[in-house]
Amino acid sequence: MNAAQKIRLVVLISGRGSNLQAILDQAASGELPVEVAAVISNRPGVRGLERARQASVPALELDHKHFADRSAFETALIEMIDRHQPDLVALAGFMRVLTAGFTEHYRGRLLNIHPSLLPKFRGLHTHERAIAAGETEHGASIHFVTAELDGGPIIVRARVPLLPGDDPDALAARVLEQEHRLYPLAIRWFAEGRMRLDGERVCFDGEPLAEPLRLEEAPLSR
């Protein structure tokens, strides 16, 4: 891929940025046709910002605690993001609930990764909840973001089994390994024009998806 074929990506984080690192690594290798234009954190000093700096990507802080309310924070966040003219915005462990005004501004170009097989276990503490519910499988999902928390159209999911004796940490580590495969793949599909949002439906290779793709069966090439 040459630079002219790359899309501009802004990544929003709140913490260590392990999914960000997977994106940065594939962007650097040329496997992922994106230019990471900026990384923005709502929490100052987190590890993910250092990952961005190490990759020579602008690492920006916008502390939500410095704003009077959610609306003021989101207005400033939109201004900061749009300065970098992104084609796509990726939430990678961004721990802020976003309002309809924000999600509509980026409708069709705002992705999130969530550590469950959506629509199961929206919100927090997904690994603990999956174990407590006696699930036999768990995983991660990529979806387009809407104002409904973890409720936007689902693109692709990766599954892992729940094993006897699993605790939340062991399960989380196994899911995270799949997340690092899942997110760059979904971003690549978007960058290549293979995947888009059409109304409330995800279209892949020009056809609406009847159900989310599965990572183990995902079409990796044209």
What pLDDT score does 147 carry? Answer: 92
Domain total of the chain: 1
As averages over each run of 10 residues, the pLDDT of the chain (222 residues) reads 76 98 97 98 98 98 97 98 98 96 98 98 97 97 96 97 95 97 97 96 96 80 42
Task: Give the integer Cα–Cα distance in Å for 127 and 47.
Answer: 23
What pLDDT score does 120 carry? Answer: 97
Task: Give the integer Cα–Cα distance in Å for 80 and 11.
Answer: 12
Tell me, yes or no, whether 180 lies in a domain. yes
Q: Determine phi and psi for 108, rounding to 5 degrees.
A: 85, -5
Tell me, yes or no, whether 147 lies in a domain. yes
Give the domain extent around 167.
3-217
The full DSSP string for the chain is --GGGPEEEEEEESS--HHHHHHHHHHHHTSS-EEEEEEEESSTT-HHHHHHHHTT--EEE--GGGSSSHHHHHHHHHHHHHTT--SEEEESS------HHHHHHTTTSEEEEESSSTTSS-SS-HHHHHHHTT-SEEEEEEEE--SSTT-SPEEEEEEEEPPTT--HHHHHHHHHHHHHHHHHHHHHHHHTTSEEEETTEEEETTEE-SS-EEGGG-----
What pLDDT score does 222 carry? Answer: 39
Active-site residue identified among 84, 105, 114, 143: 114
Maximal CA-CA distance, the chain: 50
> Is 114 designated active site?
yes
Domain at 66, CATH number? 3.40.50.170
Under 8 Å CB-to-CB from 22, ≥6 apart: which residues? 179, 180, 181, 183, 184
- Closest by CA to 172, choosing from 40, 19, 34, 23, is 19
What pLDDT score does 119 carry? Answer: 96
What pLDDT score does 75 carry? Answer: 98
Tell me, yes or no, whether 222 lies in a domain. no
What pLDDT score does 150 carry? Answer: 95
Tell me, yes or no, whether 183 lies in a domain. yes
